[in-house]
Amino acid sequence: MTAAGDRSSQDALERRYRRLLLAYPAHYRRRRGVEILTTLMDAAPAGRAHPSIGQVIDLLFDGLRCRLSPRGTPIAVAVLTALFAAVFGAIGGSWAGWQSAGDLPDNTMAAAIARTAVPDMPSTPYDRHDFLFGYASPESAEENLLAAVLIGGDDYNAGYVQFTVTHAADDLATLRAARERLQAAGWQVEPVVRKPYGGELSASRDDLFVQLTTEGLGTKTSLSVYRSRPAAVPVLTVLGLLVGGLAGWWLAGWVARRVATQPTWRKVATTVAFTFGSVLMILPMCFNLITIVLSLIWARPTPVWIGFVFIPTRAFALLGIPMLISALLTAAVPSTPVRQRLLRTGA
């Protein structure tokens, strides 16, 4: 190969190495980028124009490791940030998965399901809510709506069609008979669960989930028909959990590097906002984390963001989320005044 050809190959190899070095964070490239590039070029055989597969993998993974390294960040802060981000990621994944859910059955079809389980069920629903998730009680009064917005409610649930009937038989006998009928009709049924005051039975088939509850001897039996959990929900929930956790871990390191170069008052403001925001978010995040785990175990439709809508955790979230955002913005805004930047650039 001619000298011109060797030079052309070296130039192409150097461009490709530089593109691979973009996997590293900017601060690392400024400090060690030239050293790494020089080492790679010196070790490359004459005439090579492409990095080897091993070099590509090593550079990409090492760059990712550097980006995810919480350099200068207390480990507790990095873990807490990663946990919060993982929960938000799981919520986003679960919400996206639920968008593929179908409609609830109409009243006629829902009544047929109810009568399959309990033949005495009426043909008219006792209650119906077609929303995907929402508050079951109507918030018509303005003061009640304001209260729900500020502090949440205790009746946030998946949409359902509900039927009720007063049973004369023993409540457990009612549930056991319903279980046999549903199983004979092709439903996948769970064992009857005894409650302190009554019992519970769950069943699923196709894209529907049914739950029967009783309230003791001689009282009512309620049957609710829900949308079943789409197959995409657990997959996207776990994916969001992992991606969110990695993003939060990286974010903790990025914020630490930003704060390290800022004035003292900015460091204090960021620390205070993050601390108070984290304390406020612990309770709603614990609720969310518990429901995330439960949603992966049971088939009942579960809003994994329950900590943001439930009494009283919603109020904590409404205060905590803005504080965490303010801590992020305080760290993200450049500390150098605009005027000094203009003077330095000669603009």
**pLDDT, tens only, 240-253:** 999 999 999 888 88
Collapsed DSSP state (helix, strand, coil) of residue 166: strand
On the 0-12 / 13-18 / 19+ scale of CB atoms within 10 A, 48 is middle
* Among 129, 121, 44, 73, CA closest to 256: 73
* Among 292, 219, 259, CA closest to 71: 259
- The pLDDT, as a whole number, for residue 223 is 95
Residues 6+ apart with CB under 8 A from 232: 96, 97, 100
Residue pLDDT, tens place only, 21-54: 888 777 677 778 888 888 878 777 777 788 888 8
Whether residue 141 is predicted with pLDDT greater than 60 in this model: the reply is: no
Q: DSSP code of 223?
A: E
User: Distance between CA atoms of 101 and 80, rounded to whole angstroms?
Assistant: 32
Neighbours of 90 (CB within 10 A): 29
Q: pLDDT band for 342, please (50, 70, 90 cuts).
A: very low
Domain limits, the chain = 3-68, 75-95+232-345, 102-227
Beta-bridged to residue 230, according to DSSP, are: none
Q: pLDDT band for 343, please (50, 70, 90 cuts).
A: very low
- This prediction's pTM: 0.74
Q: pLDDT band for 326, please (50, 70, 90 cuts).
A: very high
Beta-bridged to residue 211, according to DSSP, are: 202, 224
Whether residue 325 is predicted with pLDDT greater than 60 in this model: the reply is: yes
Whether residue 146 is predicted with pLDDT greater than 70 in this model: the reply is: no
